[in-house]
Structure 1
Amino acid sequence: MADDIVVKKDNALVRAAYTLSLAEHRLILLAVADAAGKPDMLKDMTVYAEQYADRFKVTRQAAYMALGEASRQLFERRFSYDRLSSKGRPRKVVSRWIQRIEYGESEGLVKLRFADDVIPLLTDLQRRFTYYSLGQVAGLTSTYAVRLYELLIAWRSTGKTPVFEVADFRQHLGIEPDEYPRMTDFKRRALDVAIKQVNEHTDIVASYEQHKRGRTITGFSFTFTLKNPGRDPNTIDLLTGATDAERARPKRKRITRAEAEGMAKPGEEWGELLKRLSSEFFVTGMN
């Protein structure tokens, strides 16, 4: 189930400026979630159309089209973020997301190798992450909504954000400089759509406040509450370093593809078999 998959992103990456299509964003989230914070897995990751269709509740045909679209564009995508040097001086880092990608249309899969710079930001090496369930963004069809949810949930402990200056906030959402230059269009076609989807499909209810200088909107701040208050299942336990959701989730047994095929029912296709076994087993050797 998508609700059981936890995505981990370093907050430097959540705040980074980048533009991804919905299909590309979903592909990356799915790969990161399946890697379960293990850097070596991100070096050679395979994502199947059946997984995509199951996690994001789309048809198999839509999943094939999404993986094809993502594979055609993702290699050219770049992101940037700020990093401090050993002397405390700020540096702007620009990197590709991935350094290699291949698409097997007839096989319904994408194989990708993440760039060396991005792997540490996508794993739990330094414990500076935004944690959330993949199920929280599975129903979001606007990439702006995905970015907004990631940005807000980084402030889960306070339920409110600082003021984001308009230019920075547009970058956070992945909006190009020449896209929606008028504030009315930006709010109607990006911000308000994102807020509506976040409130309808995720575990939080959010609202925003406009900050002005004279009559000009210069920034936005957000407040939000959890729909089901109480201890959040993705809260990191200080003793174990794991979240409640991680500790409660049963570990899947690792089996080979040959072993998995031996469990197939008569006439059962590979994609159906993989889906049926996924809750109990992790199948290796699928390359």
Structure 2
Amino acid sequence: MAKLTTLDAVRMNRADPDAIVAAGELVDLRFVSGNTLSLRAAKLFCLLIQEAGIAVADQVQHRIPYSVLNETFHKSRDELVEAVMELHSTVVSVKLVSRQGRPYTKSGPILSDVEREPDSLDDAEIRFEFSPALRRVIADSTHWAAVSRRAVLSFESRYSLRLYLFLSLRANLRKVSEDIALDDLRALLGVPINALPRWQDVKRRALDIAIAEINHLAGFCAAYEPIKRGRRIVGVRLAWGLKAPADLAKAQRELDRPRVGRTARRAGLVETIADERYRLAESLANAPGLVWTTEPGQIGRTEPGQKPPKPMGEP
């Protein structure tokens, strides 16, 4: 999850077949009118970014054979077409600042032009162009992140993928936490409009699932603490840290294993979740305001330099 700062670094990372290099602004895209991408379309978006490579910001037509996509997705041709058309019809927006320092919001579809060859042709392909809005966002970007293609394709929840991309851009920063209002958290995760209206719903059906998948598969670990105003939850404090070498190796081994049984293996992590929380809290002990709790995936509060308490049941 190396953080990149120039297109030269993007070119260098093209040598790594597992690296998908994305502009930071793409991670922060918001969906217009309550639209949100399915998990399949979100993964396809990442792959098309990788396929375009250093020409991603150019006004050119990209092309990719169905057979290449199918090596990754193992879906029917109709399902792949549906995912492409979803990218063609979904409008996104991002907040930018002009060269004159004036803030503005830019909106547009993800793909502006799509051509599909019939199935009867040998090596039938899809040809596509990224929209002017998306190309402008990429061309003006000053911060980049490389994410793992294998991790992207392994996530089973669209909320996990969105949070993974968000944290990938921040994983190597000295800053190790960020306060996020509840409405902003829904937007970050890509929760559809009017869905998951209560905090309990966001926690159980989106955030906890995303944290568990990230801690299982990513090169960093994550946790959160609810922020209260009175008795009401108004947001969360997200915290993150790079995994120790041994934990990173475990994540890589899991990515090497077949997906079958992964959910059960992840459920087995419940037995060691206290250890993971302790390691995360210990790694962030010098950051003020970060805390551990007894809740899975959450953190409590320690003073800078103070060691977190051992998990319950440990000597």
Alignment partner, residue 266 of structure 1:
none
Cα deviation 1:119-161 (Å, max 9, x = unaligned): 24346x6441122121221201211111100111111223623
CA contact (8 A) 2:37 2:86 kept: no
Mapped pair 1:32 → 2:49: yes
Q: Distance in 1 between matches of 2:142 and 2:151?
A: 21
Mapped pair 1:223 → 2:236: no
Q: Distance in 1 between matches of 2:19 and 2:148?
A: 4
Amino acid at match of 2:158: T
Tell me how far 1:87 sits from its aligned partner: 4.3
- Among 207, 210, 222, the residue aligned to 1:206: 222
Q: Secondary structure at the match of 1:8?
A: strand
Change (3 A) 1:192 1:109: farther
Q: Percent identity?
A: 25
Q: Secondary structure at the match of 2:108?
A: strand
Alignment partner, residue 83 of structure 1:
96
Alignment partner, residue 265 of structure 2:
none
Taking the TM superposition and a 5 Å limit, the aligned residue runs for 1:13-24 are 13-18=26-31, 19-24=36-41
CA RMSD of the aligned region, Å?
A: 2.7
Q: Distance in 1 between matches of 2:221 and 2:78?
A: 32
Q: Distance in 1 between matches of 2:158 and 2:37?
A: 7
Tell me how far 1:96 sits from its aligned partner: 1.3
Taking the TM superposition and a 5 Å limit, the aligned residue runs for 1:23-172 are 23-39=40-56, 43-55=60-72, 58-59=73-74, 62=75, 64-104=77-117, 106=119, 109-122=125-138, 126-156=141-171, 157-158=173-174, 160-172=176-188
Amino acid at match of 1:208: Y
Mapped pair 1:8 → 2:21: yes
Task: Between 149-158 and 103-112, report the one with greater CA deviation.
Answer: 103-112
Q: Secondary structure at the match of 2:174?
A: coil
Q: Distance in 2 between matches of 1:43 and 1:216?
A: 50
CA contact (8 A) 1:9 1:130 kept: yes
CA contact (8 A) 2:57 2:138 kept: no
CA contact (8 A) 1:207 1:222 kept: yes
Tell me how far 1:52 sits from its aligned partner: 2.8
Q: Distance in 2 between matches of 1:53 and 1:96?
A: 24
Q: Distance in 1 between matches of 2:65 and 2:215?
A: 29
Q: Which runs of 4+ in 1 moved over 4 A?
A: none
Cα deviation 1:69-122 (Å, max 9, x = unaligned): 213322210111112245433212211111111333515543211112212434
Counting matched residue pairs gives 225
Q: Distance in 2 between matches of 1:120 and 1:63?
A: 33
CA contact (8 A) 1:6 1:131 kept: yes
Change (3 A) 1:198 1:47: farther
Task: Between 93-102 and 153-162, report the one with greater CA deviation.
Answer: 153-162
Tell me how far 1:212 sits from its aligned partner: 1.0
Q: Distance in 2 between matches of 1:141 and 1:109?
A: 27
Q: Secondary structure at the match of 1:181?
A: coil
Mapped pair 1:189 → 2:205: yes
Q: Distance in 2 between matches of 1:49 and 1:141?
A: 22
Runs of at least 5 residues in structure 1 that lack an aligned partner in the other structure? 233-287
TM-score by length of 2: 0.64
Tell me how far 1:15 sits from its aligned partner: 1.4
Q: Distance in 2 between matches of 1:40 and 1:15?
A: 17
Runs of at least 5 residues in structure 2 that lack an aligned partner in the other structure? 1-15, 249-315
Alignment partner, residue 193 of structure 2:
177
Change (3 A) 1:146 1:10: same
Cα deviation 1:164-216 (Å, max 9, x = unaligned): 11111211111122011121111111111111111222222211111111111
Q: Distance in 1 between matches of 2:239 and 2:199?
A: 21
Change (3 A) 1:69 1:42: farther
CA contact (8 A) 2:25 2:138 kept: no
